Structure 1
Amino acid sequence: MKQGISVFIILLCLAGTLYALKEGLFTAEKDEYAELKLPETVDYNFHIKPILSDNCYTCHGPDANKRKAGLRLDIESMAFAELPENPGKFAFVSENAQHSQAYQSIVSDDPTKIMPPPGSKLTLNSYEKRLIKKWIEQGAKFEKHWAFIPPKKMEMALDQTMEWGHNEIDYFILKKLTEHDLKPSAKASYETLIRRISLDLTGLPPEPTVVKQILQDTEEDGIEKAIDAFLASKAYGERMAQTWLDVARYADSHGYQDDSYRTMWPWRDWVIHAFNNNMPYNDFLTWQLAGDLLPNASKEQILATGFNRNHPITQEGGVIQEEYRTNYVLDRTNTLGKGILGLTLECARCHDHKYDAITQKDYFEVFAFFNQVDEKGLQMDAVQAKNNNFFADPPFITITQEETEGILSFVNMKETPQLNVMVMNDAAPKTTFILNRGEYDQPTDSVHPSMPESIFKFSENLPKNRLGLSQWLTDSENPLTARVFVNRIWGMLFGKGLVETAEDFGVQGSLPTHPELLDWLAVDFMEHGWDIKYLLKKIIMSDTYQQKSEIDPEIKRLDPENKWLARAPRFRMSGEMIRDYILATSGLLNREIGGPSVRPYQPEGLWEETNAGGDRGVLTKYIPDQGPDLYRRSLYTFWKRTLPPPSMTIFDAPNRDFSEVRRQKTNTPLQALVLQNDVQVLEAARVLAQRMILETPNDSSYVDDLFQTILIRTPKEEERATLMDYYHNALALYQDNQEEAQKLVAVGDYEQLDTDKAKTAALMLTAQIIYNLDETITKE
């Protein structure tokens, strides 16, 4: 019986299959790449190299230890040479795909010959195969990696009759928009632009008086004057310093297991000062990398070298000193690579880089620049750590109260008699070796300080020290330094750089969406004296920057990622900016510049849970500050490496164990919980409510005033009606329950103002709703 049923089912399935075939219901899987149009001219850097890098370089790239069959495809001479294992055959033959063995292996159907091999789980689609064939037929021209070619400034004749476009930036953007059948968006409203520019240049919302003044300005250059005012603000230096602290891996503790206190905040104050004084970027780098080596170096120049002392330092007993000393040098080398050159140099520590033309020898030649540094005095015993008893032997510099009143006036000592800050100081010349597998105790061949020739040759005329390194970095022919920085500035303003992988301009990094624009900006930046304020103003004055951010359905369809910038970007602010925004709009923000790091509110017990050093250090317990220090800008919040400020890490702040140039952007429920329950948010809402009640006795204007204060605009009718209903319902609730109102408004240490508790509670929650809006925490 069972056998009969099985046969019946099989026959039924066969019948169904035959019917489907007859009706044409079964079709071959469609090749979605078959109809993609090939570019008229196939470019090696932008079309071919990414395919080879992703699919071929692991076995046929720069890493000699992993190279198969003696074939290397990233160098032209080797790609066109006779195959070592197949005499008379060549990987590529110009204009001849039939005799190009690499191409024939790529399109082969034979599983024993196809490349990449089946076991690699890599494969090329039909479009990529057609690209390679066309490239070969067009001559198979190789080029140096795009980021290693010095940028050139494309000359252009701006069309004065164009309806859209303010400066050269718009020319490049409009060109790409046209290529992709897109049109730019209209200009954003004045209110939106004022808020956007203020956030970008100061990290804070504009003050109401500033907004009112700009809105009343009828002159055409009103926005330009606003930009100049924000650039001149002391808050500008704080905003720019915030971005640099991630690059510099700044923290107020040493890290590792004990993670005790360090005094590095004077270096942080120097960074704020440098930005506010508009120090040219080439000098900004030189002072930080080699200020101590400048002729007749001043204390300020020496203090700037604290940049290369920001790495984690162990205070544990029994460690192998040379192992950790080597780790510190490795950190400085990797920070130079990621933070300044935009390269993954660290990948060449143990072996030749698998993708970029950087050998292990190259890596340790860079390492050699930082291997001369005097590490004396970095090990502290328990008593020194507990008492914060730093001493002024190298590599420390002592800053006295008298000096802060002169050349170092930007350092806010707060009556402290003197400070000892870690700085750079070379010791006697030291021989550097290539380390086998990157291990400190496995030296092999000796090397001398130099930089990878594949990037830019290190001139014999340059001193082989950190000063020579900084001169190499800031040479106008260096292809990376200016490009990497202007890209990071673009990313700060637009949410992502023209090269999205701001940390990696190498072969595995993203290609620039607008390469000609990136080059133009880099050269223009250098031609104008590496002037950072000039660069920012140039971008912000563009029509590209000043567009609306509303998402049009057609724009979304044609450009879902907004790569071509047919509209302004819209993205969530950093954790620091969100907290500062809330403090500023509530009136709580303490705008004092500089000084020792402070401890705002934080959940109890966190430091104790993460402390592994007992009472060795001074960081065993977290005791919040009192008074105005509770409301300093987030830039000044104490940064403990093993437990960074939790309300900021929830919004994707790094722990700063190593250099970071691009923060992740996540959306999690914890972020909503912070905005809903954090004592700082609740206290800000309470203080704002109390001040508004005292200044505006008319309930009917509360919602309008809250909106104008927090969002820099008036509410729409629907928003006004919804929030007024909420306020009145809450007011009725708390008038019937005065005890609950009293509990709610008791939040925070800031003084209680003399206002009705029920009204305060109701208006406080209304303000909190606005603080929780996406619009509040988003840069539009």
Structure 2
Amino acid sequence: MARAIIMKYLDRHWFSFIGAVLVVVIVSACYRPDGRSEPIPDQVSYNLHIRPILSDNCFACHGPDANKREAGLRLDLADEAFAALRDTPGSHAFVPGMPKESEAYRRMVSDDPMERMPPPGSNLILSEREIKLIEKWIRQGANYEPHWAFIPPVKAALPKVKESKWPKNEIDYFILREQEARSLLPNLEASKEMILRRLSFDLTGLPPSVELQDRFLADQRPDAYDQLVDELLGGKHYGERMAVHWMDVARYADSHGYQDDNFRSQWPWRDWVIHAFNKNMRYDEFLTWQLAGDLLPDATKEQVLATGFNRNHKITEEGGVIDEEYRVEYVVDRTNTFGKAMIGLTLECAQCHDHKYDPLSQKEYFQLYAFFNNIREVGHESNIGGPNTYAKHPKMEITDEDIEGILSFVNKKDTLGLIVSVMGERDSVRATHILERGVYDAPGEPVEPGVPTAIMGFPEHLPKNRLGLAKWLTDNQHPLTARVFVNRIWAEIFGVGLVETVGDFGMQGKLPTHPELLDWLARDFMENGWDIKRLLKQLVTSATYRQSSELTEKRLLADPGNSWYTRAPRERLKAEFVKDLVMASSGLLHSEIGGPSVKPYQPKGLWEAAASTGAKFGLLGTYVQDSGEKLYRRGLYTFIKRTLPPPSMIIFDASNRDVCEPLRTTTNTPLQALVMMNDPMVLEGARVLATTLITESGQFGDTFEAAFRRIINRRPSEQELHVLRAYFEDQSAYWKDHTVDAEKLINVGEYPLHSSIDPVKLAAMMQVVSLIYNMEEAITKS
């Protein structure tokens, strides 16, 4: 029925809809997010202006890859670009201050197709603006700069802006400066209802209750919004919301992975993450404990538990595997995760050879690898079906005494012992070698623990172990750690990072749209104690964040990609929060914090259809659905079996947790609509909310308005109310003639059915609620 309403609307507005889509497609096709359609800047920067041009058009033949380099010419290094050319010794690719004497520039502007660069056969053409940029750069001295992300961030002075009344904090000055430079204007401020919904999902992952809506709307204090932010940041659900993102980064799952995909008991580490966020642990400490908590002086069980971060990788239990091969795989995984999660670099590209784009050699890769190569673990440790498979050595047992003391945040459900995979060093140092072609059984030159020198040197006074690595990582002069984190948090709030490639700050990553703002935030973050809640408060109290997401055609044409933040983004909720919305709005949510993962509704037979099935394959051969309160836990706690992750979450772009994933992709598919129309979770939520609306209608005022406010979190317009009432009457008439079908419809889910309600009335109201759940606005943050 919901689909019928939607299709009826599309039939009526089809041409307007298609027209709007075409405008977006055409504008997006013409739009150049790197700003190349803009005027030539007074000072041309190699990092911001020239390197992107050379990378797109020249480096394929004249870049870092020696195997594809032509004419012996390399343009990514100043010394080689200024050197005499091999084929024409009297010439130089670039001559500082002299464009006409620069052979590379001369060929870029040549009319001779035999000389022109890029060659016509490459299908690459430099624009007039790109040529002018290169010419001006050469005139200004052809100054090469180190990669921007490897230069420690500097806290620039706040920019001067014309509309000085608009900014609410420092962030807005940087945003407004870029808008004014392009003759753009910020959007109006969002309504209190919409900003409350947006803020509630951003800080708790849950919709605001009707009680909170009423309280905030009635609060006329000047600091009402700031008070609301503090309230949400201080609530217990804040840590759960932040943990969703960190689970992706840490590749957390409830099974080992690979074909014999058995159970693992790593969830106490997830409880620790929630606890760490809720108590606002400093980010530098948060990283240090996870990297090297076991190496801290007199390490506590909590600090050791934190190191479970490093053990969340896939682990094999298959017979016949080569032990050393998989042990090496585990170390490689930890090294690569360190790269993406903490310094935003694609380290994995250097496992088999020198990195083709970033200044990272294979030797430096294995020097980093060496920090993680001294763990007391083996590649194959199996006892399928027995308790020893829950965690692999090195591991830690959590006792009842721990739960009553230092690990009181672990939500232990029973009296059975808990074991968690953690880090633990060997008594002797394992030798590390460069592995030729990255192959486990081809050791080459031996190496000591070390770091890529292009990023920052490793101080001599630091120990060459994981604790030393953590101290190097969190040094206040490290150019990447704070930048990478504040950028990821920005992406969590605004939908896209200031650096779009949140996991790649290397040469092939995107340039920051607001480099001075990124550096200001990074430096400010470090100067203020790596305080995560403070950072989030800065973002959500800015005027930039509080803009409306409403979009006119004029605004779309002026800033089609919203690169200059002329409006709030329209972002679909994360997969976990889609479930949370239904559970919370319907009243089904069981809001207990932490504990083991749960198995909600999913189509029958999925696990059984996999290659490894049956009792002999341990606890996960057959899907045994949970019941009672467990069905209504938050999406964060949904059981993730790597080989068969929960389908309704994967459909909404959740990670299967095979590898570190700093940012999820966002898709829009018909399967998502089918989930919202047919999934037992949504239908049960609609039935339970419909029951509440009918049985307690006197407490809610207008029943349809009450449903709308619980799901959409704003008051409906009169037109929307008219549609809902008319739909209810239509459904009532339909189900009156189909009573048997009505009884089948409402008999969904395990929550007890209210026997005294007329099935016809309940079915009709259930369909109304389902219709609201199927509004695009229901699963859109803003």
TM-score, with structure 2 as normaliser: 0.93
- The answer to whether the 8 A contact 2:265-2:391 is kept is no
CA-CA distance at 1:716 after TM superposition? 0.6
Equivalent residue number for residue 728 of structure 1: 729
Secondary structure of the 1:433 match is: strand
* Distance of aligned partners of 1:35 and 1:486 in 2 relative to their CA distance in 1, 3 Å threshold: closer
CA-CA distance at 1:611 after TM superposition? 3.5
- Counterpart residue type for residue 750 of structure 2: D
Q: Is 2:527 the partner of 1:527? A: yes
CA-CA distance at 1:60 after TM superposition? 2.8
For 2:560 and 2:162, locate their aligned partners in 1 and report how far apart those are by CA, in whole Å.
31
- The answer to whether the 8 A contact 1:158-1:168 is kept is no
- The answer to whether the 8 A contact 1:57-1:354 is kept is no
- Counterpart residue type for residue 398 of structure 2: I
Matches within 5 A, 1:276-355: 276-355=278-357
Equivalent residue number for residue 478 of structure 1: 478
Secondary structure of the 2:189 match is: coil
Equivalent residue number for residue 261 of structure 2: 259
Secondary structure of the 2:462 match is: coil
- The answer to whether the 8 A contact 2:501-2:509 is kept is yes
Offset from partner CA, 1:145-186 (integer Å, 9 cap, x none): 111111000123878982211111111111011011111111
- Counterpart residue type for residue 438 of structure 2: G
- The answer to whether the 8 A contact 1:342-1:502 is kept is yes
- The answer to whether the 8 A contact 2:260-2:317 is kept is yes
CA-CA distance at 1:491 after TM superposition? 0.5
* Distance of aligned partners of 1:328 and 1:164 in 2 relative to their CA distance in 1, 3 Å threshold: same
- Counterpart residue type for residue 565 of structure 1: Y
Using the TM superposition, name which of 358-367 and 103-112 deviates more: 103-112
Secondary structure of the 2:90 match is: strand
- The answer to whether the 8 A contact 2:262-2:389 is kept is no
- Counterpart residue type for residue 589 of structure 2: L
CA-CA distance at 1:109 after TM superposition? 4.2
Secondary structure of the 2:287 match is: helix
- The answer to whether the 8 A contact 2:598-2:626 is kept is yes
Secondary structure of the 1:385 match is: coil
* Distance of aligned partners of 1:109 and 1:361 in 2 relative to their CA distance in 1, 3 Å threshold: farther
For 1:771 and 1:395, locate their aligned partners in 2 and report how far apart those are by CA, in whole Å.
46
CA-CA distance at 1:444 after TM superposition? 1.5
Offset from partner CA, 1:357-415 (integer Å, 9 cap, x none): 11111211111111111214x6343xx22123348884111111221111001111112
- The answer to whether the 8 A contact 1:62-1:357 is kept is no
TM-score, with structure 1 as normaliser: 0.93
Equivalent residue number for residue 189 of structure 1: 191
- The answer to whether the 8 A contact 1:261-1:385 is kept is no
Equivalent residue number for residue 637 of structure 2: 636
* Distance of aligned partners of 1:178 and 1:752 in 2 relative to their CA distance in 1, 3 Å threshold: same
For 1:514 and 1:669, locate their aligned partners in 2 and report how far apart those are by CA, in whole Å.
35
Q: Is 2:429 the partner of 1:429? A: yes
* Distance of aligned partners of 1:729 and 1:538 in 2 relative to their CA distance in 1, 3 Å threshold: same
For 2:496 and 2:576, locate their aligned partners in 1 and report how far apart those are by CA, in whole Å.
18
Using the TM superposition, name which of 674-683 and 750-759 deviates more: 750-759
- The answer to whether the 8 A contact 1:734-1:762 is kept is yes
Q: Is 2:514 the partner of 1:514? A: yes
* Distance of aligned partners of 1:419 and 1:546 in 2 relative to their CA distance in 1, 3 Å threshold: same
Using the TM superposition, name which of 409-418 and 66-75 deviates more: 66-75
Equivalent residue number for residue 24 of structure 2: none
Q: Is 2:560 the partner of 1:565? A: no
* Distance of aligned partners of 1:111 and 1:318 in 2 relative to their CA distance in 1, 3 Å threshold: farther
CA-CA distance at 1:479 after TM superposition? 0.6
Using the TM superposition, name which of 584-593 and 78-87 deviates more: 78-87
Offset from partner CA, 1:720-757 (integer Å, 9 cap, x none): 11110000111122223221111111110001123221
Using the TM superposition, name which of 673-682 and 507-516 deviates more: 507-516
For 2:631 and 2:687, locate their aligned partners in 1 and report how far apart those are by CA, in whole Å.
16
* Distance of aligned partners of 1:109 and 1:347 in 2 relative to their CA distance in 1, 3 Å threshold: farther
Equivalent residue number for residue 41 of structure 1: 43
Secondary structure of the 1:609 match is: coil
Matches within 5 A, 1:32-181: 37-118=39-120, 120-156=122-158, 162-181=164-183
Secondary structure of the 2:419 match is: strand
- Counterpart residue type for residue 631 of structure 2: L
Q: Is 2:387 the partner of 1:385? A: no
CA-CA distance at 1:54 after TM superposition? 2.1
* Distance of aligned partners of 1:174 and 1:390 in 2 relative to their CA distance in 1, 3 Å threshold: same
Equivalent residue number for residue 396 of structure 2: 397
For 1:245 and 1:206, locate their aligned partners in 2 and report how far apart those are by CA, in whole Å.
24
- The answer to whether the 8 A contact 1:257-1:613 is kept is no
- The answer to whether the 8 A contact 2:268-2:410 is kept is yes
For 1:225 and 1:304, locate their aligned partners in 2 and report how far apart those are by CA, in whole Å.
32
Secondary structure of the 2:732 match is: helix
Equivalent residue number for residue 406 of structure 1: 405
- Counterpart residue type for residue 513 of structure 1: T
CA-CA distance at 1:121 after TM superposition? 4.4
- The answer to whether the 8 A contact 1:396-1:422 is kept is yes
Matches within 5 A, 1:600-639: 600-612=600-612, 615-639=616-640
Secondary structure of the 1:663 match is: coil
Matches within 5 A, 1:687-698: 687-696=688-697
Secondary structure of the 1:315 match is: coil
Offset from partner CA, 1:646-702 (integer Å, 9 cap, x none): 001001112111000111111100000000000000000000000111100599822
Equivalent residue number for residue 273 of structure 1: 275
* Distance of aligned partners of 1:390 and 1:47 in 2 relative to their CA distance in 1, 3 Å threshold: same
CA-CA distance at 1:261 after TM superposition? 0.7
Using the TM superposition, name which of 349-358 and 655-664 deviates more: 349-358
For 2:216 and 2:247, locate their aligned partners in 1 and report how far apart those are by CA, in whole Å.
32
Secondary structure of the 1:398 match is: strand
For 1:305 and 1:261, locate their aligned partners in 2 and report how far apart those are by CA, in whole Å.
19
Equivalent residue number for residue 8 of structure 2: none
For 2:112 and 2:431, locate their aligned partners in 1 and report how far apart those are by CA, in whole Å.
53
CA-CA distance at 1:125 after TM superposition? 3.0
- Counterpart residue type for residue 704 of structure 2: V
- The answer to whether the 8 A contact 1:92-1:103 is kept is yes
Offset from partner CA, 1:284-337 (integer Å, 9 cap, x none): 000000001111100110010010101101101111111111111111111111
Equivalent residue number for residue 458 of structure 1: 458
CA-CA distance at 1:218 after TM superposition? 1.6
- Counterpart residue type for residue 313 of structure 2: H
* Distance of aligned partners of 1:121 and 1:365 in 2 relative to their CA distance in 1, 3 Å threshold: farther
| Unpaired segments ≥5 residues, structure 1 | 1-29
Equivalent residue number for residue 590 of structure 2: 590
For 2:221 and 2:179, locate their aligned partners in 1 and report how far apart those are by CA, in whole Å.
30
- The answer to whether the 8 A contact 1:495-1:569 is kept is yes
- The answer to whether the 8 A contact 1:576-1:634 is kept is yes
CA-CA distance at 1:106 after TM superposition? 3.0
CA RMSD between the two structures: 2.0
Offset from partner CA, 1:27-50 (integer Å, 9 cap, x none): xxx9x9998642222111111011
Percent identity of paired positions between Structure 1 and Structure 2:
56
For 2:631 and 2:218, locate their aligned partners in 1 and report how far apart those are by CA, in whole Å.
35
Offset from partner CA, 1:433-491 (integer Å, 9 cap, x none): 11111111122211111111111111112111111111111011011100010001110
Equivalent residue number for residue 671 of structure 2: 670
Secondary structure of the 2:101 match is: coil
* Distance of aligned partners of 1:57 and 1:604 in 2 relative to their CA distance in 1, 3 Å threshold: same
CA-CA distance at 1:617 after TM superposition? 2.4
- The answer to whether the 8 A contact 2:684-2:748 is kept is yes
Equivalent residue number for residue 374 of structure 2: 372
For 1:412 and 1:462, locate their aligned partners in 2 and report how far apart those are by CA, in whole Å.
37
- The answer to whether the 8 A contact 1:249-1:310 is kept is yes
- The answer to whether the 8 A contact 1:240-1:275 is kept is yes
- Counterpart residue type for residue 596 of structure 1: P
- The answer to whether the 8 A contact 1:501-1:509 is kept is yes
Runs of 4+ in 1 over 6 A off after TM superposition: 32-36, 157-161
Equivalent residue number for residue 26 of structure 1: none
For 1:225 and 1:34, locate their aligned partners in 2 and report how far apart those are by CA, in whole Å.
42
